Amino acid sequence: MAKIFIDGIECEAHPKQTIIQIADGINNGGKQIVDIPRFCYHPALAVAGNCRMCLVEFGLPGRNKDGSPQLDESGNPVIRWMPKLTTACTTEISDGMHVKTHHTSQVVADAQKGVLEFILINHPLDCPICDQAGECPLQQITYKYGPEESRYEFEKVHKPKREKWGTKIVFDGERCINCTRCVRFFDEYTETHELEIVQRGWNNYPALAPDQTPDENRYAMNVIDLCPVGALTSSDHRFNARVWEMSATDTISVADARCSSVRLWVRDNRVMRLTARPNPLVNGFFISDDDRLNYKWINDNRADAPTIKVGNAQQTADWPNAIQKAAELLRRYRPDEIFVLASARASLETNFVVKKFATEILKTQHLDFLRHIEGADDALLIRADKTPNALGCDMLGIAPAAGGISADDLPEAVWSGKIKCVLAIEDTVEEWLSPEVRAKLEALILLPHNLSDALNEADVVLPAATFAEQIGTFLNFEGVLQLARPAKALKHQNRELMKEMALSRWDKHATQFDRWSSEENKIDAKPAWEILCELSGTMGKAFGYQTAREIFAEIATSLSAFNELDYQKLGKIGVKLEGVNV
C-alpha cells in the first residue's frame, strides 16, 4: 500500500486511486480527510474532469541520479512540486506524493476562485427563487471559496428555460454548469442514452437526444439528486417547499423488497419529497423512481381516528371504546374461527407482536401474511416483491400453525363459514377478499393505513401508523436489516419516538412567528404493535411493551441471526445478517 500526504496528513492509498478518493476517505471508512470542492466528480460515475473546481498542487519525492531519495539537511525527503495545478479527481496517486489543497495553498485558493468566477459568468444567480437554494453545491462553494461579486458587465448567454424532459423532470439550461453528470448517468448507470450535449463553447448544454424521453426510464429522477445546481428539478416537488422548511429523516423506502435507503423530507407533518441516500449494502447511490414517488399515501386518504360500525355507518370512537369493542368481538369467537393477517408491509416489531397476539391471546392457528408480487425483478434495483419485510415475516415464522388456514385458502374458508372473524393488520384486504366473501364474514377488525372500501364494512377500525411515523426494523430480500425512523408526528405521539425525529433548520432556528406548522396534519393513528398491546391488556394478558426498542430486544434474544443487535448497531446503513436464507 502506498502512502500520500494531503495537507500534511498521512493517508494510505492503493495504486490507481485518485487524490479526491483518498481525500474523501475511501480507505478511511468513508470519513472525509480533507474537503475538496467539486462539481463534475461523482463516485458512482466515470471521471469527466470538466469543471476544474477540484484543483490542487502536488509534488513527488525527488531522486538523486543513482535513484536514491533526495533528502534535505534534516534528513526529510525533498519534494519536487509540479509547476502547474492538477485536478484531484483525475490524478492518480503515487507513493510518497504530497498534495496541497486550498486549505494550505494560496495558489489553489486563488485558482478555485477564478474557476468559480468563470462558472458564474453566465449563471443567473437567482437563488431566491431557485428550488436548489439551501442545498446547492454551487451556492455553498461560492459562499465558501468564491469571489464576493461579479466583474462581468455584459448580457449573459441565454439557454432553454423550464424545458420539460418528459413528465418527471424540468430543465433550466441557464442554471446548468455543464458538469455532464446527468448525461453520464444515462450512459453508464441505466445505459439508455437519453441525453447528449448540444452546441459549443459557452452555448452548450445537455438536451434530450432525438426521439428520446426519460419517461419510460424508472431511474431517471436520480439526475435531479445528481445535478449540483438547480438546473434539474422534479415536476413532482418543484416549488412545493424550501429546503430549510423541511426536516430530513434518514430512513428506508418501503416500495419493494430492496428497502433502498432514502431521506424523507417533511414540512408541517406532511411528507414533501423523498430522495436517495447512499448505502453500499443496499442500493449504492441511487433509488428507483418507484421509491422516490411512493410517499403520497402517507399524507392523503388516511384512516384518521378509530371508528366502530353502527348500523351501516362508521362512527368515530375514542381509542379505549374502539379497543373495548374489538376485544368484545374477538372474545365472541372460538380460536379456530378467527384468522389473523400479519403484514410484510409492517415492521418486524409489529409482526412479532401480531404473532404473539395470535398465538398467546387468541390461540388461533390461522396466521399468515400476503405476498404482493408485481412484474419482475430488473437488473438494477427494482424488485417484483412490492413489500419491504417478506423475509422478516418468514424469519419470524409468520405462517399457519399445524392445521391452520393460509392466506390463499382464506376466501374459501370464509365462504364455507369456517372462518367468521378476520383481524387484518397493515395490509389491504380488498385484493384478497372479494366484496361477496367479505359480506360472509361476521366480524372484520382492521388496523389500516389508508381509507378503502373494506373500511366501510369493518366492525372496528383502529388506524395504524405508517413506517414514516414510527421506529421499526425491516429485513430486505438480501438479509440486510435496516431501521425506519419516524419522520412525522402522530396525534398521540409516543414521547419515546420524538427523540428519534429529525428537526428542520426551521424547527431549530426560526422564531415562533416564522413557523406556520399546525396540528391539523397529525394523523390520529398508533403503531400497530402499540394497539395490539392495548388490546392484549383489555383481553386479560397485557404484553407490557412500552417501546419498539424493547420488542426488538426480545426478537434479538429469540432469533439467533439477530443476536447482539440493537438499534444503535444498525446505524444509518443497517447490518447484513449472517446465515439468513435469502
User: Can residue 464 be called a binding residue for ligand SF4 (CB under 6 A)?
Assistant: no
| Contacting ligand FES within 82-101 (CB under 6 A) | 87, 89
User: Can residue 138 be called a binding residue for ligand FES (CB under 6 A)?
Assistant: no
Outline where 99-177 has alpha helix (H). Answer: 106-121, 137-145
Give me the least distance between CB of 86 and ligand FES, in Å please.
10
Dihedral sign (CA 551, 552, 558, 559): positive
User: Can residue 116 be called a binding residue for ligand FES (CB under 6 A)?
Assistant: no
Window contacting ligand FES (CB under 6 A); options: 35-43, 103-111, 197-205, 522-530? 35-43
User: Can residue 58 be called a binding residue for ligand FES (CB under 6 A)?
Assistant: no
Binder among 18, 87, 91, 178 for ligand SF4 (CB under 6 A): 178
Give me the least distance between CB of 469 and ligand FES, in Å please.
40
| Contacting ligand SF4 within 221-280 (CB under 6 A) | 226-232
- 239-242's contacts with Cβ under 8 Å and 24+ in sequence apart are 239/131, 240/272, 240/273, 241/265, 241/267, 241/272, 241/273, 242/133, 242/134
The DSSP annotation for 530-579 comes to HHHHHHHHHTT------SHHHHHHHHHHH-GGGTT--HHHHTTT-EEPTT
Binder among 26, 39, 208, 247 for ligand FES (CB under 6 A): 39
User: Can residue 125 be called a binding residue for ligand SF4 (CB under 6 A)?
Assistant: yes
Give me the least distance between CB of 38 and ligand FES, in Å please.
3
Point out which residues pair with 198 in neighbouring strands: 205
How many positions of this chain bind ligand SF4 (CB under 6 A)? 27
User: Can residue 126 be called a binding residue for ligand SF4 (CB under 6 A)?
Assistant: yes
Q: Which helix (H) or strand (E) holds 232?
A: strand 232-234
Which listed option, ligand FES, ligand SF4, none, makes contact with residue 54 (CB within 5 to 8 Å by class)? ligand FES
User: Can residue 170 be called a binding residue for ligand SF4 (CB under 6 A)?
Assistant: no
In 3D space, the residue among 229, 134, 133, 233 whose CA is nearest the CA of residue 178 turns out to be 229
Point out which residues pair with 276 in neighbouring strands: 262
Q: At 207, give phi and psi (nearest 5°).
A: -145, 160
Task: Please tell me the distance from the alpha carbon of residue 138 to that of residue 232, in angstroms, as a whole number.
Answer: 14
Cα 120–122–123 angle (5° rounding)? 55
Binder among 11, 13, 19, 53 for ligand FES (CB under 6 A): 53
User: Can residue 184 be called a binding residue for ligand SF4 (CB under 6 A)?
Assistant: no
Binder among 18, 21, 38, 233 for ligand FES (CB under 6 A): 38
Task: Please tell me the distance from the alpha carbon of residue 449 to that of residue 470, in angstroms, as a whole number.
Answer: 13
User: Can residue 123 be called a binding residue for ligand SF4 (CB under 6 A)?
Assistant: yes
Cell numbers placing 161:
428555460
Give me the least distance between CB of 99 and ligand FES, in Å please.
13
How many positions of this chain bind ligand FES (CB under 6 A)? 12
- x-or-dash string of contact with ligand FES, 262-301, rule CB under 6 A: ----------------------------------------
Cell numbers placing 324:
373495548
Window contacting ligand FES (CB under 6 A); options: 50-58, 320-328, 379-387, 561-569? 50-58
Binder among 122, 139, 217, 283 for ligand SF4 (CB under 6 A): 139
User: Can residue 188 be called a binding residue for ligand SF4 (CB under 6 A)?
Assistant: no
Task: Please tell me the distance from the alpha carbon of residue 532 to that of residue 480, in angstroms, as a whole number.
Answer: 27
User: Can residue 41 be called a binding residue for ligand FES (CB under 6 A)?
Assistant: yes
User: Can residue 45 be called a binding residue for ligand FES (CB under 6 A)?
Assistant: no
Between 89 and 443, CB nearer to ligand FES: 89
Give me the least distance between CB of 18 and ligand FES, in Å please.
9
Q: Which helix (H) or strand (E) holds 461?
A: strand 460-461
User: Can residue 178 be called a binding residue for ligand FES (CB under 6 A)?
Assistant: no
Window contacting ligand SF4 (CB under 6 A); options: 130-138, 283-291, 362-370, 566-574? 130-138
Q: Checking DSSP bridges between strand 460-461 and strand 443-447, what pairing results, if any?
A: parallel
Between 121 and 399, CB nearer to ligand FES: 121
Binder among 22, 34, 51, 455 for ligand FES (CB under 6 A): 51
Q: Which helix (H) or strand (E) holds 413?
A: helix 410-415
DSSP 297: H
Cα 464–309–535 angle (5° rounding)? 45
Outline where 166-318 has alpha helix (H). Answer: 181-184, 222-226, 289-292, 296-299
Between 232 and 528, CB nearer to ligand SF4: 232
Between 177 and 342, CB nearer to ligand FES: 177
In 3D space, the residue among 162, 160, 290, 292 whose CA is nearest the CA of residue 226 turns out to be 292
Between 89 and 555, CB nearer to ligand FES: 89
Point out which residues pair with 58 in neighbouring strands: 99
Window contacting ligand FES (CB under 6 A); options: 36-44, 192-200, 301-309, 314-322? 36-44
Cell numbers placing 300:
392523503
Binder among 119, 179, 342, 425 for ligand SF4 (CB under 6 A): 179
Who contacts 18 (Cβ-Cβ below 8 Å, separation ≥6)?
A: 47, 88, 89, 90, 91, 92, 93
Helix axis angle, 528-538 relative to 319-332, nearest 10°?
A: 60
Window contacting ligand SF4 (CB under 6 A); options: 128-136, 159-167, 354-362, 490-498? 128-136
Contact residues for ligand SF4 (CB under 6 A)?
A: 123-127, 130, 132-133, 136, 138-139, 175-182, 206, 226-232
Contact residues for ligand FES (CB under 6 A)?
A: 38-41, 49-54, 87, 89
